[in-house]
Amino acid sequence: MARELLEYGWEFLMLRYYKEGKLSLEGLAKKLNLSITETIDRLAELGIEAPIEFEDYLKGFNVFKAK
């Protein structure tokens, strides 16, 4: 139980740093040991606005699809 509480506390702290601009999206993903997309999903679950615009997402998707 204590380990789980520590993990939640760590995640909360890292999310707070991200929200305050002290941590980049990539840095947050690394700290939480998640991929960028998993991190964006986690942010969305918590109601934190996505850090990218939809047009940027589409451009990235098209680049990925072209490879």
**CB < 8 Å & 24+ apart, contacts of 18-24:** 18/43, 18/48, 19/48
Tell me the pLDDT band of 13, cut-offs 50, 70 and 90: very high
- What residue segments make up the domains of the chain, in order of their start? 2-66
- The answer, as to whether pTM is greater than 0.75, is no
Contact present, 42 and 32 (Cβ < 8 Å)? yes
Report pLDDT for 5.
86
- What was the pLDDT predicted at 24? 87
